[in-house]
Amino acid sequence: MAKMGEEQHEADSLLPIRRLQASDKSKGFEFLSRFAELASHGDDHAIVVAEDEQTGRIIATGSVFVEKKFLRGCGKVGHIEDVVVDASARGRRLGQRVVRHLVGHARAAGCYKVILDCSAENRGFYEKCGFQEKNVQMAVYFHE
């Protein structure tokens, strides 16, 4: 007999990970004009979500941006950003599913690698997703 947590993982594995839609505005996202701007990038900027079908709320999201380069034979690099799981839905492997989906999108787009920046606290999560630590991140912030 499956334990309660295992039943939740099984149910969560059935939640579809899908592209963000304009109709998601009422499900926890606010942005109609930004949505149109990002949608104009087609598959070069994909935002995916997991929607709790019982509540209609977005409970996990992430994005991948495909950078087109001149180096490496005009290759492409996927940049994963903004992977977030609602606090009420953590521990259900939704974040791993979102990351796998984004990695698959980058692979299908012809990227030769996928990179991301994360905090030291999130290193273990991304290692579980197949990432390895590489190089050092640097940043200049214009507004806080």
The enclosing domain of 55 has a CATH number of 3.40.630.30
CA-derived radius of gyration, the chain: 16
Token output for 8: 């939740």
Mapped onto helix, strand or coil, the DSSP state of residue 82 is strand
Burial of 28 (0-12, 13-18, 19+ CB in 10 A): middle
Going residue by residue through the chain, which has 144 residues, state the pLDDT in tens, using 9 for 90 and above: 445 566 666 767 778 888 888 787 776 556 677 788 888 998 999 999 999 988 989 999 999 999 999 999 999 999 999 999 999 999 999 999 999 999 999 999 999 999 999 999 999 999 999 999 998 888 898 986
Q: Provide φ and ψ at 142, rounded to 5°.
A: -95, -30
* 138 occurs within a structural domain: no
For residue 116, what are the domain limits?
3-129
Q: Provide the whole-model pTM.
A: 0.78
Q: β-strand 45-51 against 58-68: which pairing, if any?
A: antiparallel
